[in-house]
Structure 1
Amino acid sequence: MKYNNIYEGIFLERPNRFIANVLIDGKKEKVHVKNTGRCKEILIKGTKVYLEKSNNPNRKTKYSLISAYKGNQLINIDSQVPNKVVFDAVQSNKIEGLNNIKVLKREVTFGNSRFDLYFEKDNEKGFIEVKGVTLEDNGLSLFPDAPTERGTKHIKEMIKAVEFGLSGYIFFLIQMENIKYFTPNISMDEKFSNALIEANKRGVNILAYNSTVKKDFIKINEKIEVLI
């Protein structure tokens, strides 16, 4: 995923989930935050961030905040990008167990949920639900960074899909580099974590890949170990 018109800034504050104030070229700008999660350990006053400037003159905000540093680690916090990154990776045969896909569609409904991706290959059909991960603690990536009833619902629906005879994948895209392990954040959301543990027991595939992240792009990198 490539970004255009990238600008550097200094994070000041986040009045609400959708808006942040950022210092760009010495001027305070109101910008759009492309992540409704908390990101409290990332978006700290004084943090260096990168933004993409919009070409739409009618937008209320000129810029979108897409990544930020946590120490020396650049973290992509764009919650809209994981689906595209994983879609492209599946198409390019870069995901273990998801090679030679014949059909790949976005946003397909099963039961009471709409999963991010639907695929067909040979005699296999199934769904992939993608979760972007921005939370890191001492080299361990965790999800979620806030309670998510919707995420728990998706997992339970994916279990039903597997029981129905379809293949099911919960895919965690770690939106940063040099991460080797992923685990559910049980202290933040016990229901989600327990649902993921149950899904793993019931035949749902749990995958996690880290990413290569630069100021103007993000791409999938390598499979990492899932600790459940």
Structure 2
Amino acid sequence: MKFLQPLQMGRLIRRYKRFLADVRLPDGAEVTAHCPNTGSMLGCQPDDARVWLSASDNPKRKLKYTWELVETAPGVLACINTARPNHQAREAIEAGRVPSLAGYAGCRSEVRYGAEKSRIDLLLSGHPSRPDAWVEVKNVTLAEAGTGFFPDAVTERGQKHLRELMAQVAQGDRAVLFFVVNHTGIDEVRPADHIDARYGQLLRQAVEAGVEVVAWRADLADEEGNPSGGLSLTEPVPVVLDE
């Protein structure tokens, strides 16, 4: 998965009203970019951080730029655009790069399901010998000393998704929590018990109930720590559930 056009580098001035970010471009001009992330973005908005924006020529758009990447530490990049992970996971699955989810003939997005009226990110069907797989995708960008944590804020919605996944397993289907690791400084993923203890409890219960958990890292940066131009998932990352 590649960006359609080269990204524009700038310096973060501030993020505000959740969906807006002011950025200073190299020529000194200041622009307001769309921030496609409703979360806390903990650790992903350092003062004066280098950021990268995608640009649109669509005249109907209110804002030309969209915030895509941020340098959280020297040479360490994170993708904050939460519209990307579903596409990243789908591309990797359909390309056969995720062995545990290979062999499915069909993949649908945003399918309604569950007693709590959720929408699953990806529904895989048509495997010759395995049941349908309900795949919930989560973006991991909170990093501390090489460990990625999810969530970065208390998430009742995320708790609901875990309950829904457990219900699908109870009905005889597969259910998968898919962590997309969009941070080059993360080497393992853990539940953020220090942020949302209930989510951590539910995640462990879900695994005991048969929900599968996988994590894959994206190729955000080149050897110099600059954007590689790609978002493809390239390697698995261990998920650690020890408390």
TM-score by length of 2: 0.90
Compared with structure 1, are the counterparts of its residues 96 and 179 closer, same or farther at alpha carbon in structure 2 (3 Å cutoff)?
farther
What's 2:201 paired with?
A: 194
| 1:19 paired to 2:20 | yes
| 1:173 paired to 2:180 | yes
What's 1:114 paired with?
A: 119
| 1:80 paired to 2:88 | no
State the AA in 2 paired with 1:63.
Y
8 Å CA contact 2:42, 2:142 repeated in 1: no
8 Å CA contact 1:175, 1:211 repeated in 2: yes
2:96 to 90, 93, 96: 93
8 Å CA contact 2:55, 2:64 repeated in 1: yes
Between stretches 68-77 and 160-169, larger displacement belongs to: 68-77
1:96 Cα shift? 2.5
Compared with structure 1, are the counterparts of its residues 134 and 128 closer, same or farther at alpha carbon in structure 2 (3 Å cutoff)?
same
For residues 136 and 101 of structure 2, the distance between their equivalents in structure 1, rounded to whole angstroms, comes to 13
What's 1:2 paired with?
A: 2
Larger fraction in strand: 1
For residues 12 and 118 of structure 1, the distance between their equivalents in structure 2, rounded to whole angstroms, comes to 39
CA deviation vs aligned residue, 1:35-66 (integer Å, no higher than 9, x gap): 11112322122100000011112222110000
1:103 Cα shift? 1.4
| 1:128 paired to 2:135 | yes
The secondary structure found in structure 2 opposite 1:157 is helix
For residues 46 and 180 of structure 1, the distance between their equivalents in structure 2, rounded to whole angstroms, comes to 26
How does 1:186-225 map onto structure 2 within 5 Å? Answer: 186-214=193-221, 215=227, 216-225=229-238
1:184 to 191, 209, 213: 191
For residues 36 and 230 of structure 2, the distance between their equivalents in structure 1, rounded to whole angstroms, comes to 15
For residues 167 and 10 of structure 2, the distance between their equivalents in structure 1, rounded to whole angstroms, comes to 45
8 Å CA contact 1:209, 1:222 repeated in 2: yes
8 Å CA contact 2:108, 2:123 repeated in 1: yes
For residues 178 and 188 of structure 1, the distance between their equivalents in structure 2, rounded to whole angstroms, comes to 20
1:5 Cα shift? 4.4
Matched residues, number: 228
For residues 188 and 16 of structure 2, the distance between their equivalents in structure 1, rounded to whole angstroms, comes to 32
Q: Which runs of 4+ in 1 moved over 4 A?
A: none
State the AA in 2 paired with 1:69.
E
Runs of 5+ unmatched residues, structure 1: none
Between stretches 214-223 and 9-18, larger displacement belongs to: 214-223
Runs of 5+ unmatched residues, structure 2: 222-226
For residues 9 and 142 of structure 2, the distance between their equivalents in structure 1, rounded to whole angstroms, comes to 22
For residues 8 and 148 of structure 2, the distance between their equivalents in structure 1, rounded to whole angstroms, comes to 27
Between stretches 84-93 and 107-116, larger displacement belongs to: 107-116
8 Å CA contact 1:68, 1:75 repeated in 2: yes
Between stretches 13-22 and 178-187, larger displacement belongs to: 178-187
8 Å CA contact 2:96, 2:103 repeated in 1: yes
8 Å CA contact 2:143, 2:185 repeated in 1: no
What is the aligned-residue identity percentage?
Answer: 30
CA-based RMSD of the aligned residues comes to 1.2
1:178 Cα shift? 5.1
State the AA in 1 paired with 2:13.
L
The secondary structure found in structure 1 opposite 2:90 is helix
Compared with structure 1, are the counterparts of its residues 22 and 178 closer, same or farther at alpha carbon in structure 2 (3 Å cutoff)?
closer
What's 1:60 paired with?
A: 62
CA deviation vs aligned residue, 1:118-162 (integer Å, no higher than 9, x gap): 112113212000001111000001111111111110110000000
